[in-house]
Amino acid sequence: MNIMDKFCLKGRKAIVTGGAQGIGFNYASAVAAAGADVAIADINGEKARETAEQIAGEYHVKAMGIQADVTSPEQVERMCREMAEEMGRIDIAFCNAGISINVPAEEMTYEQWRKVIDINLTGVFLTATAAGRYMIRQGGGSIINTASMSGHIVNIPQPQVAYNASKAGVIMLTKSLAVEWADKNVRVNSISPGYIMTDLIRGHELIPRWTELSPSSRMGNPEELQGVALYLASDASSFTTGSDFVVDGAYTCV
């Protein structure tokens, strides 16, 4: 098969959590551009539906919006069920929803810690295993988790102990699922972005400092994650599982 054909996703069905905006929206757009039908899942159901309409209009694929909070096992199960009922199967799952709370560790409350871990790590576990059950039954699939360069290094100067711990957890969760499911044809990989200009960081007072610390002297754009997302979603990455892809403009090299 021609290598370019391996990137074609016509007939595939993809779901993206935290897909209403930012990085998740760009993952969804990437796979839709390659022909996949997409489900945009987000805690903000209205925005998820608007984003789905936008993608359907732009890429002429089927798209649906689903309201779901990734910290709720029941809502995550319902999310996958709604998608599978509408689209017939789940081939690709981006477990992407995430937040950050930056507080000095000694001041961080239990509730703040739990919120970050529940969304960023438990949310990925719940989504990956719910989608994974469909993929195992179907005979295969590709799961792509959003980790972060913060799973590899401690970003400075902002204090973000829970975020860093959650993202390191996502990287190891990814490897563990990849090993458990390798013989089931379910591939599991993660993407670790550096600083990417989305609402998560837009307008942050530390952007000049982060720019200065980066060898690339700039933030990344969310579109710059689309290539790796498409690669991991597609058959072009058929022997790639259990890997983490750092896309950070060389930030973690120094």
Q: Which residues are catalytic?
A: 148, 163, 167
| Minimum CB–partner distance for residue 133 and ligand NAD (Å) | 19
Burial of 35 (0-12, 13-18, 19+ CB in 10 A): middle
* Complex with ligand NAD: residue 88 or 215, whichever CB lies closer: 215
Nearest approach in angstroms of CB 191 to ligand NAD is 8
Closest Cα partner for 3 from 185, 231, 189, 245?
A: 231
Q: Which is nearer to ligand NAD, 186 or 229 (CB)?
A: 229
Member of 142, 148, 155, 234 binding ligand NAD (CB under 6 A): 148
Written in H, E and C, the secondary structure of the chain is CCHHHHHCCCCCEEEEECCCCHHHHHHHHHHHHCCCEEEEEECCHHHHHHHHHHHHHHHCCCEEEEECCCCCHHHHHHHHHHHHHHHCCCCEEEECCCCCCCCCHHHCCHHHHHHHHHHHHHHHHHHHHHHHHHHHHHCCEEEEEECCHHHCCCCCCCCCHHHHHHHHHHHHHHHHHHHHHHHHCEEEEEEEECCECCCCCCCCCCHHHHHHHCCCCCCECHHHHHHHHHHHHCHHHCCCCCCEEEECCCHHHC
User: For residues 136 and 247, which CB has a smaller minimum distance to ligand NAD in the complex?
Assistant: 247
Residue 146 in the binding site for ligand NAD (CB under 6 A): yes
Is residue 18 part of the contact set for ligand NAD (CB under 6 A)? yes
State which residue, 198 or 241, has the beta carbon closest to ligand NAD. Answer: 198
- Asked if 71 interacts with ligand NAD (CB under 6 A), we say yes
- Which positions from 206 through 245 interact with ligand NAD, judged by CB under 6 A? none
Could you say which of 33, 200, 207, 213 contacts ligand NAD (CB under 6 A)? 200
**Residues between 26 and 45 that touch ligand NAD (CB under 6 A):** 42-44
Does 196 participate in binding ligand NAD (rule CB under 6 A)? yes
Burial class (CB in 10 A: 0-12, 13-18, 19+), 224: middle
Give the tokens for residue 179. 């090993």
Smallest gap from residue 121 Cβ to ligand NAD (A): 10
Q: Which of residues 83-142 bind ligand NAD (CB under 6 A)?
A: 96-99, 119, 123
Q: Rule CB under 6 A: choose which of 14, 15, 16, 23 binds ligand NAD.
A: 23
Among 8, 136, 153, 201, binds ligand NAD (CB under 6 A): 201
CB of 122 to ligand NAD, least distance (A): 10
Residues that bind ligand NAD (CB under 6 A): 17-18, 20-24, 42-44, 69-71, 96-99, 119, 123, 146, 148, 193, 195-196, 198-201
